[in-house]
Structure formats: structure tokens, C-alpha cells
Amino acid sequence: RSQFEKVEGNRLYMKQDGKDIAIGKSKSDDFRKTDASGRGYQPMVYGLKSAQITEDNQLVHFRFQFQKGLEREFIYRVEKEES
């Protein structure tokens, strides 16, 4: 199970099975999940020119611009855990 934490520095932060996880564009052309130490998992998306992650009123927007010119936006509704 995953729990949303925050969006900061163009990355989405969450807890997944008790582990701290970040999701965002790597230094190369891919988009991937990393653990708390920054070690990357298998890339999720290749061929990216840029990726933006923003949060607005419980909606997280992923905006991808690909090297070949294609652009895509994915919008997810998230809930923050109540204290």
C-alpha cells in the first residue's frame, strides 16, 4: 500500500510498504522511482525531454514532454494522511 506524502523539488514523495520513495525524472532521459538513498529502480518511462510534477488541491499533475515532441499530462487525485 502507498501513502502520499508531498510534492517538492519536482518529485513526488510517498511511503510504500513502510519505505520512503520518490518519483521523478532522472538525470538522463527517464522517469523512475528511487528509494530514500536516491538509488533508482527500473525506469517507468523513457525518452523524456522534461517532466514536471505539481500538486494543486489534492490533484497531482505529471506533465511529460518527450524528445520526439509528444506531450502528455496525467492527473491523479491524492489524499494526505490525517494526523
Q: What does the pLDDT profile of the chain (83 residues) look like in tens digits?
A: 889 999 999 999 999 998 999 999 988 888 889 987 778 788 889 999 999 999 999 999 999 999 999 999 999 999 887 76
pLDDT value for 5: 94
Percent helix, percent strand, percent coil in the chain, to nearest 5? 0, 65, 35
Q: What is the pLDDT of residue 27?
A: 83
Three-state SS at 76: strand
What's the whole-model pTM score?
Answer: 0.84
